[in-house]
Every structure is written in structure tokens, then in C-alpha cells.
């Protein structure tokens, strides 16, 4: 007499998967509704997740933690911060400072917006040296040579349908698109860089000699907070008082209203998971309740209680996993194609698809699938076989 086999192991796994699939197929309307509900919820979960990821990238970016932003004290919108450009030379003299980049910022919208256009005007050679940008189209050459040239981040370019060689006009600004760039920092991909002079002359009245902010690149050994307070102390006596912070802290405070909102959105993510759980659990409970007798028969034939658990959990796992994968996949595609970014006051949070997010989505679906199936699985496995068979 052969040794007994666990019904979910080895070669025997295949027929039991077939049994699960056939059972789900028999109730295909219910299966389809559950899978699509799960997909929608996981879609929402992934969108919310990508917003959260975009936000945490602001503070985790190492360059943003080692660079400082010098801004006018008590000013919040780029339009209202005016620092003398020659502060750069003073800051440059401080210990630990490697380079100072005076930047003029122009934005079409100081309020929170999903289609914010932010121009950063700076010295093209400094941009090339300190920003992790890779041109996918156009050339740095054209960017440095033409006064009205701009390089455009992939995110803005795809939202606004801009390509190299175009003339791009917004408000009073009109630039020649010298190139499209990608960046390992997704928020960068929502910026447009121009020459500092160009932006100073176009963006208003008396901007010559003034910039919005100075970005300070520090030596690796320098302590950002220490240098920041040195800068503010140094410039206190100047024409305009400054407030210097790490770039990450600067961005976080600029976006603080949005960040509150976004942090709140994580509840939406939890709610999505709860929705999937209740949806799949309901379907599985219904499916099991309808078929208690079938489980009694299977166990009479010799399927172990553990095998019965596998059958039921397999069902809920399948529903969750298929729905979860579909939702995650569609969300990733949407995020990729849409290049969404939310911005306020010249800072942006980019929502990008990511492998970690996709894996997390699939992992969550897996876990929810198991959890949703446990209670009905235990019911099916512990069914009173004799009584259930007697009930016609």
C-alpha cells in the first residue's frame, strides 16, 4: 500500500489547482465581480502608495539632505523671495561649502496643483555638474549656447507633450526646448531648467542681480545644520535676512499642507485593503457555504482537513492574487504613462511606479488572500461529515 500524499504537494498540486479553477469558473460572474472589485481597490492602494513613496523620497534623498537651500526669511512662495545674487560669493567663503548655485524660480501656480510648471534658472554648467540629469533628447551644447534654451524634465514633457526643438510658451515665458532629461530623482523630472540670466530678465521687473534662492552644495564632511546657521548669521547683517535649511526640510516645509493631506491619504490605502479583505472573504464564505456538502464528500473520499484548508485558501488566494496583480499592473501603467506630480510653491512630489510598490501590492494581495480564506477554510475542514452528508 502506497504512502499517503498531501493533496497539495508535488504532482498532486496540479489537479487540485484545476479543481479550484474549475470551481471558480463555475461561478464566473461572482469570480469576475470579486476579481474586478479587488483590482479596483488594489489600483487605489497602489496610487496612494506611490504618493506616499513620492513624499518619503523627498526626505530620503541623500543629496537633498546634504544640500542647503538659502531662502528669504519669512517668505514661502518663490515669487516673494528675493535674495541678492552676490550672496553666493559670501556663502562660498564659508568652511565646508563646495559650491553655491544661485537659482531663480518661476512657477505658473503658487497654489497646490497637479499640473504645476516650475522653471529653475541657474548656470547651465552648474546644473550639469550638480544635478543627476541625463538628456534623452537634445544636447547640453544647445542648452548652454542659446540664451532662451531650456531643458525639460520627462514628467512635464509627457504631460505637456513637449519634445526637443519645440518652442514652449507659458504665461509671459517662452523658451526653446534644447533637450528632455530624465533623473534618478523623480521630482526633478517635473522641472524645467533655463539659464539664470534668461529667467531673471523675463520673469519680471527688477530681477537683475536678484535670485529666489541659493542652493549650497557642501563637502561630504561638512555638517549641514552647522553651515546653515553660519550662513544665516553671516547674512543677518546683509540687505535681506535669510533662512537656510537642508533641501529636504525646505521642500517638506514648502509642501507641508500637501504633506498633511497626503499623510491622511494613507488611510485610503488601508481602506482599500480592508475592502479587498471583506470582498474576498464574503465571496469565499458564500462559495464554501454553498458547497459544505462537497467538502464533506471530499473528506469522505480521503482528503485531509489540511487539504481542505488548502482548497479553500487556494480559492481566496487566487481571487486576491489575480485581482491584486491586475490592479497593481494597471496602476503601474497609469503612473508610468501619466507622469503625475503634485506641486506647490515651486516644489513637487512625483508619483512614479516602482518595483518595490508593485511587489508590495502583490505581497499584500497574497497576505489578504490567505487571511480572507482562513475562517471559511477552517469551517470547511472541520465540517461534521456525517451530519452534512445526511442533510439532503
Partner 1 sequence: MALVELSNVTKQFTKGEQTITPLDQIDLQIAEGEFVSLMGPSGSGKSTLLNLVSGIDRPDSGSIVIDGTDITQLSRGKLADWRAENLGYIFQTHNLIPVLTAYENVELPTLLLKQTSQQRARRVQLAMNAVGLGDRVNHYPRQLSGGQEQRVGIARAIVTHPKIVVADEPTGSLDLKTSRQIQKLLQDLNQQLGITMLMVTHDNEVASIATRQLLLNQGKFIDGHTSPSVRREGGEALG
Ligand X SMILES: Nc1ncnc2c1ncn2[C@@H]1O[C@H](COP(=O)(O)OP(=O)(O)OP(=O)(O)O)[C@@H](O)[C@H]1O
Q: What count of Cα atoms within 13 Å lies in the side-chain half-sphere of residue 173? A: 28
Task: Name which of ligand X, partner 1, none residue 303 binds, using a CB cut-off of 5 to 8 Å depending on partner kind.
Answer: partner 1
Task: Name which of ligand X, partner 1, none residue 299 binds, using a CB cut-off of 5 to 8 Å depending on partner kind.
Answer: partner 1
Is residue 191 within 8 Å of residue 157, measured between CB atoms?
no
* DSSP one-letter code for 113: B
Q: Which stretch binds partner 1 (CB under 8 A): 49-57, 218-226, 292-300, 344-352?
A: 292-300
Residues 6+ apart with CB under 8 A from 177: 138, 149, 150, 151, 152, 162, 163, 164, 165, 166, 167, 168
Q: How far is the CB of 380 from ligand X (least distance, A)?
A: 18
Q: Which stretch binds partner 1 (CB under 8 A): 16-24, 309-317, 322-330, 372-380?
A: 16-24
Residue nearer to partner 1 on the CB measure, 14 or 93: 14
Q: Is 386 in the site for partner 1 (CB under 8 A)?
A: yes
Q: Is 282 in the site for partner 1 (CB under 8 A)?
A: no
Task: Name which of partner 1, ligand X, none residue 22 binds, using a CB cut-off of 5 to 8 Å depending on partner kind.
Answer: partner 1
Residue nearer to ligand X on the CB measure, 17 or 389: 389
Q: What is the grid cell recorded at 349?
A: 512630489
Q: How far is the CB of 387 from ligand X (least distance, A)?
A: 5
Q: Is 303 in the site for partner 1 (CB under 8 A)?
A: yes
Q: Which long-range contacts (CB under 8 A, 24 or more apart) does 383-386 make?
A: 383/292, 383/295, 383/296, 383/299, 384/296, 385/296, 385/299, 385/300
Q: Is 304 in the site for partner 1 (CB under 8 A)?
A: yes
Q: Is 379 in the site for partner 1 (CB under 8 A)?
A: no
Residue 78-107 contact track with partner 1, rule CB under 8 A, x = bound: ------------------------------
Residues 6+ apart with CB under 8 A from 255: 55, 58, 343, 344, 345, 347, 349
Q: State which of residues 248, 299, 348, 365 lies at the interface with partner 1 (CB under 8 A).
A: 299
Task: Name which of partner 1, ligand X, none residue 355 binds, using a CB cut-off of 5 to 8 Å depending on partner kind.
Answer: none
Q: How far is the CB of 384 from ligand X (least distance, A)?
A: 7
Residue 308-347 contact track with partner 1, rule CB under 8 A, x = bound: ----------------------------------------
Q: Which long-range contacts (CB under 8 A, 24 or more apart) does 196-201 make?
A: 196/102, 196/103, 196/104, 196/121, 196/122, 196/123, 197/121, 197/147, 198/121, 198/147, 198/148, 199/104, 199/106, 199/119, 199/120, 199/121, 199/173, 200/104, 200/121
Beta bridge partners of 242: 72
Task: Name which of ligand X, partner 1, none residue 297 binds, using a CB cut-off of 5 to 8 Å depending on partner kind.
Answer: partner 1
Task: Name which of partner 1, ligand X, none residue 293 binds, using a CB cut-off of 5 to 8 Å depending on partner kind.
Answer: partner 1
Residue nearest to ligand X (CB): 387
Interacting residues with partner 1 between 28 and 67 (CB under 8 A): none
Contacting residues toward ligand X, per CB under 6 A = 387, 390
**Given the DSSP bridges, would you call strands 341-344 and 83-84 parallel, antiparallel or unpaired?**
unpaired
Residue nearer to ligand X on the CB measure, 125 or 387: 387
Residues 6+ apart with CB under 8 A from 320: 38, 276, 280, 365, 366, 368, 369, 372
Residue nearer to ligand X on the CB measure, 223 or 387: 387
Q: How far is the CB of 36 from partner 1 (least distance, A)?
A: 22
Q: Is 26 in the site for partner 1 (CB under 8 A)?
A: yes
Tell me the C-alpha to C-alpha distance, in Å, between residue 239 and each of 21, 73, 208, 389.
Answer: 75, 12, 15, 91
The DSSP secondary structure of 176-222, one letter per residue, reads: EEEEEEEESSGGGGGEEEEEHHHHHHHS-SS-TTEESEEEEEEPTTS
The residues of the shown chain that bind partner 1, judged by CB under 8 A, are: 1-5, 7, 11-12, 15-16, 18-19, 22-23, 25-26, 293-294, 297-307, 385-386, 389-390, 392
Amino acid at each position: 500500500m502506497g504512502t499517503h500524499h498531501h493533496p497539495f504537494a508535488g504532482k498532486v498540486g496540479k489537479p487540485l489547482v484545476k479543481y479550484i479553477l474549475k470551481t471558480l469558473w463555475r461561478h464566473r460572474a461572482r469570480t469576475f465581480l470579486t476579481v474586478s472589485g479587488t483590482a479596483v481597490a488594489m489600483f487605489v492602494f497602489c496610487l496612494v502608495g506611490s504618493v506616499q513613496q513620492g513624499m518619503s523620497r523627498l526626505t530620503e534623498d541623500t543629496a537633498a539632505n546634504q544640500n542647503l537651500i538659502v531662502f528669504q526669511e519669512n517668505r514661502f512662495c518663490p515669487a516673494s523671495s528675493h535674495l541678492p545674487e552676490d550672496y553666493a560669493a559670501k556663502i562660498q567663503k564659508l568652511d565646508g561649502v563646495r559650491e553655491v548655485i544661485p537659482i531663480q524660480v518661476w512657477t505658473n501656480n503658487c497654489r497646490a496643483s497637479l499640473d504645476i510648471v516650475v522653471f529653475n534658472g541657474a548656470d547651465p554648467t552648474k546644473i550639469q555638474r550638480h544635478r543627476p540629469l541625463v538628456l534623452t533628447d537634445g544636447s547640453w551644447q544647445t542648452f548652454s549656447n542659446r540664451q532662451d534654451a531650456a531643458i525639460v524634465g520627462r514628467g512635464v514633457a509627457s504631460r505637456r507633450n513637449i519634445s526637443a526643438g519645440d518652442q514652449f510658451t507659458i504665461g509671459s515665458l517662452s523658451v526653446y526646448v534644447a533637450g528632455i532629461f530624465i533623473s534618478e530623482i523623480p521630482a526633478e523630472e517635473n522641472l524645467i531648467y533655463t539659464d539664470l540670466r534668461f529667467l531673471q530678465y523675463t520673469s519680471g521687473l527688477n530681477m537683475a542681480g536678484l535670485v529666489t534662492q541659493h542652493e549650497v552644495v557642501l563637502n561630504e564632511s561638512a555638517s549641514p545644520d552647522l553651515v546653515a546657521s553660519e550662513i544665516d548669521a553671516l547674512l543677518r547683517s546683509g540687505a535681506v535676512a535669510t533662512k537656510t535649511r537642508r533641501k529636504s526640510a525646505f521642500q517638506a516645509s514648502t509642501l507641508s499642507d500637501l504633506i498633511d493631506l497626503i499623510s491622511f491619504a494613507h488611510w485610503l490605502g488601508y481602506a482599500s485593503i480592508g475592502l479587498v479583505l471583506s470582498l474576498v472573504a464574503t465571496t469565499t464564505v458564500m462559495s464554501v457555504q454553498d458547497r459544505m456538502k462537497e467538502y464533506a464528500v471530499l473528506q469522505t473520499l480521503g482528503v485531509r482537513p489540511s487539504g481542505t484548508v488548502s482548497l479553500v485558501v487556494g480559492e481566496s488566494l487566487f481571487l486576491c492574487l489575480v485581482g491584486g496583480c491586475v490592479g497593481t499592473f494597471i496602476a503601474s501603467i497609469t503612473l508610468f504613462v501619466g507622469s503625475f506630480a503634485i506641486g506647490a510653491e515651486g516644489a513637487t512630489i512625483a508619483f512614479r511606479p516602482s518595483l518595490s510598490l508593485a511587489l508590495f501590492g502583490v505581497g499584500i494581495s497574497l497576505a489578504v488572500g490567505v487571511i480572507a480564506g482562513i475562517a471559511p477554510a477552517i469551517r470547511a475542514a472541520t465540517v461534521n461529515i456525517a451530519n452534512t452528508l445526511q442533510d439532503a
